[in-house]
Structure 1
Amino acid sequence: MRIAQIAPLSEAVPPKFYGGTERVVSWITEELVRQGHDVTLFASGDSETSAKLAACTPEGLRLLGYRDHTASHLAMLHAVHKRAHEFDVLHFHIDLLQYPMFEDLYHKCVTTMHGRLDVPDFMPVYRTFTGMPLVSISDNQREPMPSNSNWQATIHHGLPSENCPYYPEAKGGYLAFLGRISPEKRPDRAIQMAIQSGVKLKIAAKVDKADQDYWDEVIEPMIHHPLVEFIGEINEEQKKDFLGNALALAFPIDWPEPFGLVMIEAMSAGTPVIAFRNGSVPEVIADGVSGVLCDTMDDAIAAVHKVKTMSRAGVRRHFETQFTAECMVKKYVAVYEQLIENEKTIIKMPRAGAFTPHYGDLNGSARPSLSAAAMPA
């Protein structure tokens, strides 16, 4: 297949620093190329890929100091639209701007929704442009969306198995907290888990400007306990040992997390996850197999002792069967093939504005249909 991957321009693909979406785009792109597909990546010029790179900015826009990325994304989308005839599938990983611009090409488009979907500001677009084929990264992520959204599938993220290699033994024996210091990530809960269970906690996290007050007023005063060590932000190479040597990953979130990459990174290393039952967590963690699901702090403290007896080999097996890049891309290819097959069967009609084809959900929640306006005379 000839596939275009359209990435955000904020960071390079893969990102040099923070950037979950760009990292996932890289994994999808590289696996598609490995499987023999003809892939073009629309991204920033400092991206690194084995696909054909269509550079749309010299560097990631954050590195260039851009505050508003709208204009650059519009220019990229214009370039994609001009070249759309070159591709069988256009796979978007940006938020909303492509919805109106590609309304005439929905039959070959799919958009992966990477963020939370309960933002009221975005709802007018979701309600108006219901024909855009969509992929969710968890079933829970879909819940705020209009009922007539054109879902194709839920496809959980997957990563290359070598990114976080298997560690058969937790040599460090500590709890790991990895990510951002922010109220919704609840590092305060992780600190309480460590202190009340008597197990050391290492925090590898960055503090964004938006969360500086939360750090200053809530978290910084808590990290001076002898069981708590704050490391700061770490890179991809450091992440391997950090996760692999941990007794467990503490994932005590307090918000509807759409997915949570760090959970599968930990599972790849064989490290179980202690996670609060919010958002996508119950879809990602197999309770008692790859981690422990918690509803209360008492649950979380008890889980610290429970994970000591869990099989790290079993955690890794769960990752290998569910969350590798190969597993993820196999499902995306199925979506692409369904789009292509549907394009062959859709009756070509002059655009009347009333007909937007819904191609059906590969998970079974919808089937292809044509409105009366689109039926043959």
Structure 2
Amino acid sequence: MRIAMLAPISWRTPPRHYGPWELVTSLLTEALLERGVDVTLFATRDSQTSGTLAGPCPAPYSEDPAIDAKVWEMLHVAHVFERAGEFDLIHNQADFVPLAFSRLVETPVVTTIHGFSSDRILPVFKAYEDRVHYVAISAADRHPDLRYAAVIHHGIRLEDFPFDPDGSQDLLFFGRIHRDKGAAEAIATARRAGRRLVMAGIVQDEGYHAAQVVPALDDRSVTYLGPVGGALRMKTLGSARALLHLINFEEPFGLSVVEALACGTPVIAFNRGSMPELIEHGVTGFLVDSVDEAVTAVDRIGEIDRAACRASIAERFTVERMADRYLNLYRSILGR
């Protein structure tokens, strides 16, 4: 089986720190290669894979201001479809632009929909639902007006996330500094709970960061690490008493939630989007509806067994499980 894996080019694949779509693309690519699948990864030329790397774009547009996102995205996507005849299947991880190329080739196309930035992009997905096999990353993110081939949750390499049986007394915010991710709510919860808050992630909204985060920073009650990757990422996720994931949008998945749980860190999250699919209330964390309830949950976090948090990920959210489900989907599409 020959698969063309089409990654986004916003960040390197795998990312150096932030880049959830690129991270999932890399994890799936490497897991398929381990299963003997012939995978060519179409990504930025500085990307890394144990398979074949292809693509014209020299660097990610979110890291190199010389890269024009629109120009290089068109060149990147066109390059894949111009080589479509070399592959049994194209797996698109790069949003909606590749859909417009799908009827120009005979090669089957799978598209993982990593979320909808706006309902305004729905018409392009609707226009190609009879040609492209869509995968939702959670049941919560299935749009009622679209036809789907499967729901496949993301998976992580459990061995990359060391289990910390003790954690610390600090709370953690881990994600984009943006209203959607609830940075202000995390700060308010930690302050009211009398706990120190460690924050990590890229600043996606400078105005929000300046207004909601910077005034709270004092290195005693609230500290900001910036984007973290590698060993520091794992240590940060595992050394917290709990992850605060008080989101203000219908999050389609939430990799940081799964990664924290893998390290043994319970999660306190607003009960919306995919959170009920990731967190078992009272077992691996708490699903709450307000900052008041989040503060109460912080006081109850000692009731959560950190080993149970890791066990839940080992059972449901491993890269092996994700790869097997995608491989079954490919075989079904190809009639194998």
TM-score, normalised on structure 1? 0.84
Aligned amino acid, residue 157 of structure 1: H
Matches for 1:113-192 after TM superposition, within 5 Å: 113-116=113-116, 119-131=118-130, 132-143=132-143, 146=145, 149-170=146-167, 172-192=168-188
Matched with 2:307 is 313
Aligned amino acid, residue 122 of structure 2: M
Matched with 1:89 is 89
Contact (CA 8 Å) 2:6, 2:90: kept in 1 or not?
yes
Instruction: Give the distance between the partners of 2:323 and 2:113, measured in 1 at CA.
Output: 16
Q: Deviations over 1:151-209 (max 9, x none)?
A: 11111111111222111221x2211111121111111211222122222211123323x
Contact (CA 8 Å) 1:160, 1:324: kept in 2 or not?
yes
Q: Deviations over 1:261-285 (max 9, x none)?
A: 1001101101111100121111111
Matched with 2:294 is 300
Matched with 1:31 is 31
Contact (CA 8 Å) 1:11, 1:62: kept in 2 or not?
yes
Matched with 2:329 is 335
Instruction: Give the distance between the partners of 1:79 and 1:226, measured in 2 at CA.
Output: 51
Question: Per the alignment, in what secondary structure is the counterpart of residue 25 of structure 1?
Answer: helix
Instruction: Give the distance between the partners of 1:230 and 1:16, measured in 2 at CA.
Output: 18
Matched with 2:98 is 98
Instruction: Give the distance between the partners of 2:108 and 2:147, measured in 1 at CA.
Output: 13
Instruction: Give the distance between the partners of 1:106 and 1:309, measured in 2 at CA.
Output: 55
Instruction: Give the distance between the partners of 1:295 and 1:70, measured in 2 at CA.
Output: 39
Structure 1 residues 245 and 79, CA gap change in structure 2 (3 angstroms): same
Aligned amino acid, residue 124 of structure 1: P
- How much has 1:291 moved relative to structure 2? 1.3
- How much has 1:288 moved relative to structure 2? 1.7
Point out the more displaced range, 65-74 or 33-42: 65-74
- How much has 1:217 moved relative to structure 2? 2.0
Contact (CA 8 Å) 1:270, 1:313: kept in 2 or not?
yes
The percent of aligned pairs where both chains have the same amino acid is 36
- How much has 1:63 moved relative to structure 2? 3.2
Matched with 2:217 is 223
Number of aligned positions between the proteins: 335
Instruction: Give the distance between the partners of 2:310 and 2:187, measured in 1 at CA.
Output: 26
Contact (CA 8 Å) 1:289, 1:318: kept in 2 or not?
no
Structure 1 residues 182 and 63, CA gap change in structure 2 (3 angstroms): closer
Instruction: Give the distance between the partners of 1:4 and 1:59, measured in 2 at CA.
Output: 19
Matches for 1:195-344 after TM superposition, within 5 Å: 195-208=191-204, 211-224=205-218, 226-341=220-335
Contact (CA 8 Å) 2:84, 2:107: kept in 1 or not?
no
Instruction: Give the distance between the partners of 2:333 and 2:158, measured in 1 at CA.
Output: 29
Matched with 1:362 is none
Instruction: Give the distance between the partners of 2:80 and 2:224, measured in 1 at CA.
Output: 44
CA RMSD of aligned residues (A): 1.9
- How much has 1:139 moved relative to structure 2? 1.5
Structure 1 residues 222 and 327, CA gap change in structure 2 (3 angstroms): same
Q: Deviations over 1:131-150 (max 9, x none)?
A: 2210011111123x52xx23
Please list every run of 5 or more consecutive structure 1 residues that lacks an aligned counterpart in the other structure.
345-377
Instruction: Give the distance between the partners of 2:155 and 2:242, measured in 1 at CA.
Output: 20
Structure 1 residues 62 and 226, CA gap change in structure 2 (3 angstroms): closer
Contact (CA 8 Å) 2:18, 2:227: kept in 1 or not?
no
Structure 1 residues 101 and 268, CA gap change in structure 2 (3 angstroms): same
Q: Deviations over 1:204-237 (max 9, x none)?
A: 23323xx222222222223348432233222232
Question: Per the alignment, in what secondary structure is the counterpart of residue 141 of structure 1?
Answer: coil
Matched with 1:349 is none
Structure 1 residues 216 and 74, CA gap change in structure 2 (3 angstroms): closer
Aligned amino acid, residue 272 of structure 1: P
Q: Deviations over 1:226-270 (max 9, x none)?
A: 432233222232011111111111101111111111001101101
- How much has 1:317 moved relative to structure 2? 0.5
